[in-house]
Structure 1
Amino acid sequence: MNIQRKELLVTSFALFSLFFGAGNLLLPPLLGYNAGENWLWVTIGFMITAVVIPIIGILAHARLQGTLFDFGKKVSPVFSLIYCIIIYIIAVAIPSPRTAAATHEIAIHPAFGTSPLLTSAIYFSLVLIFVLNRSKILNVIGKFLTPFIVIMLLAVIGIGLSSSTFTTGVSQFETPIVTGILEGYQTFDAIGAVVVGAVIIISLKFKNMKVSAFESKRKLIRQSGFIAGTGLFIIYAGLISVGAYYGSEIEVNSELSSDMQRANLLRGISIASLGEFGNTVLSILISLACFTTAIGIVAGTADYFKGLLNDSQTVYILTAIIACVLGVVVGQLDFNSIIMVAVPVLLCVYPITIILILLNVLPERLATPFVFRVVVFITFLFSIPDVVGFISPSEGLKTFTAFIPFAKHSLGWVLPALLAFIVTSLLQSKSTTAKA
């Protein structure tokens, strides 16, 4: 049961890096900037969906020690199969290309003026090389890339806060906590938890670690999850606070697209913290953060389809190639366009993912297949108005959703899911008592 410190640190760093990508770096500073005096409340909301839920997802992986399929199989095998395919398609079609788009717009194009096609082609060629060398992922990311990312992030945050005047602007948010929760969706971290958690599980099988026993592996994954979560918390809170405190010092042009606002603010903070060298640091930081996340997404997707089709290595290679080609194609879009495509998808899939994560960490007597089926169905049902409202808002829909608590904040599924869980748990308990 003894877990060597080196193994724990490597796994923790790898997990942190697989989480920390384009959105994780670009979203928090502008969120803090717009939150102004309410940055702490926004931070609390952001942490719920960008740290707490994802780390619970890792704990669920530690408990299941299977694949993403195991997360939904209590609903039904057919549901879980469809859910897995949708999740992996979303992963390779949105967050993975988004990492390439962010790298191009912020790190590569300003320095070299190259086309998005060239950047994406080189970027995903390198991703493919790492993914095909599957057994080295944990070592390379955990030992080398992540420590460098963390050191640079802490330097920007630490120097930035120490040189700040600690003045904030007026908040632009009516409900800061809710805004933080919804902005946390954009990090894709809950989906990332169920995808990269599986990558960690399989990577541990590849590595010659002293964690072959189920309990030892569970302990390693749980401890790594808590360490990675603590790291994410510190970095997110730091980036949000720096964005808030630099609100009066850096001009963010409101006429620019939101992605350019994010990029310009982060660049301004880096330069203010580290001088002109900050531009170089920012470029390297974004490139590495995005790159490690893309590796995790593509490897996770290839792992799943490999397992689905008789553990075929050929399927693994073909899936990785297709995912990288798709990344090159979609990577031609700008960062903000990819986010706008992502929002309606997230409003539907994210609630189901959150529910599956929460149910999978509960004891089996509380989270029976019956409970899974009812709660997931109710969650899906009440997330539909959020999706329809984003795509095609109408007065009739607003009248209907006015009767659903939190619906105006795109969280209309929360209370119905909670009530469904309570009612089904009580019914399950009565049924068990009657049989006894």
Structure 2
Amino acid sequence: MDVRKRKTILFLGMALFAMFFGAGNLLLPAYLGFQTRTDWTFTFTGFSITAILAPVLAIFAVAVSGNYFTDLGARANVKLAYILSLINVLCIGPLIALPRAGASVFEVAIQPIIPTAQPVWVCVLFFGAVMVASFSLNKITGILGKIFAPLLLFFLVLLILPGLFMGATLATLPTVIEDRFYVGFQEGYQTMDVLAGLIFAVLLIAGANRKGYTHTKDKIDVVVKSALLAAVCMLLVYGGLFYLGAHAQANASDVTRSSLLISIATQYFGSNGMYLISLLMLLACITTAIALTAGSANFFERLTKGKLGYIEGVISITLISIFLAITGVDTIIEYAAALLNFIYPVTLVLILSVLLFGKTITNQKPYFITLVVTMVISFVRVLAGWFPEETFLANLLNALPMARYNLEWVLPAVLTFVISCFALGRNLNRR
């Protein structure tokens, strides 16, 4: 591998790490480690599957399908691809992920230091900076890979290293949580990185193309290796944060995700620890917000065929995000649950089916039918959450295998795909 290619993979991999590492990625690992204590490795393994492996597979799936995540969905149906992509972009863009980033900056980075700060002005300043940084789509990967990612990694190492040496001398309590692997697996969804990975793949592929890697084989090689580099960085950082949480000395009765992280930092850095966490939260949120804003605006420009320009899209997205961010993290999480319960299983089924069978089965019908079945089951899960008094819905879900883990869609999706393939017989390679 030549030096130029190594440099491209390095800076694209760093950019992707910065894109993925948002507020949830900073807060969740330490908190999960604190909850599971001596058994934190089980939880870490489950978390790594949904917060590292699945997002990287999303990057791979888009890369082998084309240049955009709509190319991935087109394996099943072009119209369905745009519908699912629209829901996806709304979730990880102006409706959930972006407002959550702004609200997290206020609640975790600013309010503990400046108690009199007003959320509206913090959100305006934060999204104003995001908007300006997102105006030039072609410079996004450069800004993140060369500036923000090194800063983010430096301060993360600064937080984690003391805990690796000092934490080993502290007694660790046994866990009282059952299904420790599942707890990590389920919480990994909260990072929303599987959905974000579909958008980040577009930015990563565009960055590879700008560096001259336009041939399909070269493009896939650069994108895959960049994604693997980002995955290694996430694995090391998450492992370190889990370890810090498992060895944290805090009162379990009143600890929250943010207070735990601040407690860990002050344990090793005194009063300056609060400023370190504030800086980390700000860096984590702004890098992810820039990438999500740019990716979402690019999607809406393509969706409207240029009627909504990229710059207009950036402005619109940031304005909507400011309005929703002011409502606070708890409010955003409350209305986000239904959308995520619907779109996550569908997205995972699409990613896995294309990666596993995309080269051998080109007929759209197995993918389309499987996605429809998964959508129906996911919608039942949403309805069960909206109408908990309707026991029929809960009983219907509980009759399916792995329902207790919110994975009731897995077996029906597998069976549907297999039966569809058998039904098609020799027509598996006909579109």
- Pick the TM interval, shorter chain: over 0.9
* Match among 122, 138, 150 for residue 141 of structure 2: 138
Q: Deviations over 1:184-208 (max 9, x none)?
A: 1110010011011112223344x4x
Question: What letter matches 1:365 in structure 2?
Answer: T
Aligned to 2:124: 121
Matched, 1:225 2:220: no
Aligned to 2:313: 319
Tell me how far 1:378 sits from its aligned partner: 1.8
Tell me how far 1:364 sits from its aligned partner: 2.7
Task: Find the aligned partners of 2:55 and 2:252 in 1 and give their Cα distance.
Answer: 31
Task: Find the aligned partners of 2:392 and 2:173 in 1 and give their Cα distance.
Answer: 37
Aligned to 1:374: 369
Aligned to 1:186: 190
Aligned to 1:355: 349
Tell me how far 1:132 sits from its aligned partner: 0.6
Report the CA distance shift for 1:311/1:111 in structure 2 as closer, same or farther (over 3 A).
Answer: same
Q: Deviations over 1:87-146 (max 9, x none)?
A: 112222101111111111111122223111001101111111011122221111101111
Percent identity reads 29
Task: Find the aligned partners of 1:434 and 1:134 in 2 and give their Cα distance.
Answer: 37
Q: Is the CA contact (8 Å cut-off) linking 1:159 and 1:274 kept in structure 2?
A: no
Q: TM-score, normalised by structure 2?
A: 0.93
Q: Is the CA contact (8 Å cut-off) linking 1:132 and 1:317 kept in structure 2?
A: yes
Task: Find the aligned partners of 1:242 and 1:45 in 2 and give their Cα distance.
Answer: 18
Q: Deviations over 1:278-326 (max 9, x none)?
A: 22111111101100101111101111121223346x6111111111001
Task: Find the aligned partners of 2:399 and 2:428 in 1 and give their Cα distance.
Answer: 36
Q: TM-score, normalised by structure 1?
A: 0.92
Task: Find the aligned partners of 2:339 and 2:174 in 1 and give their Cα distance.
Answer: 32
Q: Deviations over 1:230-263 (max 9, x none)?
A: 11111112212221221xx112443x7xxxx000
Q: How does 1:9-408 map to 2 (within 5 A)?
A: 9-91=10-92, 92-112=94-114, 113-164=116-167, 165-205=169-209, 207=210, 209-246=211-248, 249-254=249-254, 261-311=256-306, 315-362=309-356, 363-366=358-361, 368-394=363-389, 395-408=391-404
Q: Is the CA contact (8 Å cut-off) linking 1:161 and 1:242 kept in structure 2?
A: yes
Q: Deviations over 1:152-181 (max 9, x none)?
A: 112212211211135333434321122211
Task: Find the aligned partners of 2:45 and 2:225 in 1 and give their Cα distance.
Answer: 23
Aligned to 1:6: 7
Question: What letter matches 1:340 in structure 2?
Answer: E
Question: What letter matches 1:303 in structure 2?
Answer: N
Question: What letter matches 2:140 in structure 1?
Answer: I
Q: Deviations over 1:321-367 (max 9, x none)?
A: 11100111111122232222222211110011111111222333236
Question: What letter matches 2:98 in structure 1?
Answer: S
Unaligned runs of 5+ in 2: none
Aligned to 1:422: 418
Residues 221-230 or 369-378, more deviating: 369-378
Residues 416-425 or 111-120, more deviating: 416-425
Residues 359-368 or 32-41, more deviating: 359-368
Task: Find the aligned partners of 2:181 and 2:415 in 1 and give their Cα distance.
Answer: 22
How many residues align structurally?
424
Report the CA distance shift for 1:351/1:367 in structure 2 as closer, same or farther (over 3 A).
Answer: farther
Q: Is the CA contact (8 Å cut-off) linking 1:386 and 1:407 kept in structure 2?
A: no
Q: Is the CA contact (8 Å cut-off) linking 2:63 and 2:223 kept in structure 1?
A: yes
Secondary structure in 1 matching 2:361 = coil
Task: Find the aligned partners of 1:418 and 1:171 in 2 and give their Cα distance.
Answer: 34
